[in-house]
Each structure stands twice: as structure tokens, then as C-alpha cells.
Amino acid sequence: MRKTTVAVLAFICTVIVSEVVGFGVSTLIMRAVRAFGGPPAVKIDLQSKLGCPSGSLADLKRRFSDDTLKLERGADSLFICSDNSINTTVEDAPRALAREFPGCLNYITGALRMLRESDAICALPDNQGYICDGEKGTEGQGVDALGTQSSVVSFCTPETLTKFGFAVHF
């Protein structure tokens, strides 16, 4: 009986010690992965002046995509005009943009889609692209705002063009 009790206690102690040591090892491994091999971080600094140059989705795609991300329904010509900064990882950048601007973008597995019928989106003159008004774009627009590829996007007002630093053509 005594040998059985000692064996059971030894077994329990071994399990406890291995769990403690194992937890410590897994914590060290997680820290090393974050420090040396974690996904690359990216800070997306947007601006709402001078034609919103840092908000070009086509340029942002080149920064954070391995060409597997698709920009659909006009998103390849979209300028996000906002003073927000988004801290994310390279891998999560498309989802982060869609979460930050649900009134402008929709993310569906591998594709960022512009919401063509959203109140936060307007078309630049002379087919130069589209503007996402970052302030309006933080509010969700509902499923109808996605529209179709052929949905006509309303033109930007002169006030909107001036507000974001785009040239006003008449």
C-alpha cells in the first residue's frame, strides 16, 4: 500500500512539474515567435487633404498584399480620405480597412469591394476614381450599399472635392 501511495504521489508531482515547465517553455516560444517571426506590422497613415494620396487603395495593396488580394467594384480606384491611422499586421490589413470603413469597403475572403451605392462614396470627375469620405465611411450602410458592378456612383459635390483637396473642374 505504501509503495502504491508513493507511486501515485510521484506521478502527480511529475504531472504538476511537467505542466509548469511546459507552460514556461510554451510562453518562451510564443514570445520568440512574436519578437522574431511574427507577422510584419504595418501602420497605415491616412490623410484627408491634398487629394488623399496616402489613401489610394491601389498603392496600399502594393504595400500589404502578395497579389492574392483582389480590389473589386471600383476599389482599385478608391481614395480613402480620413485622418485616421490604422495599426495592423500586413496579413490583416484588408480586413482592418473594411472594419474601419464599413460604409466604404466590404471584405470577403481575398477581396475588398467598394460599396458602390454608399452615401460615403462619390465619383471624381473625368473617371479619375472614387472618394471614400472617411468620416461618413465609419458608419455601416447596410447590404444594399454594395450595389452591383454596374451600379452608377454619384459624382462628388464641389464642396467634397474642395474639402479633400481635389481639383474642381467645371
* DSSP, residue by residue, 139-164: S---GGGG--TTPPPPBPPHHHHHHT
Give the residue extent of every domain in the chain.
Answer: 1-38, 41-163
Instruction: Classify each residue of 24-33 as buried b or exposed e, where b means 16 or more C-beta atoms within 10 Å of its C-beta.
Output: eeeeeeeeee
pLDDT in tens, the chain (170 residues): 676 776 556 556 554 544 544 445 444 444 544 555 666 777 888 888 888 888 888 888 887 776 778 889 999 999 999 998 888 888 888 899 999 999 999 998 888 999 999 999 999 998 889 999 999 999 888 777 888 788 899 999 999 999 998 877 65
What's the sign of the alpha-carbon dihedral 132, 136, 137, 138?
A: positive
| DSSP designation for 166 | P
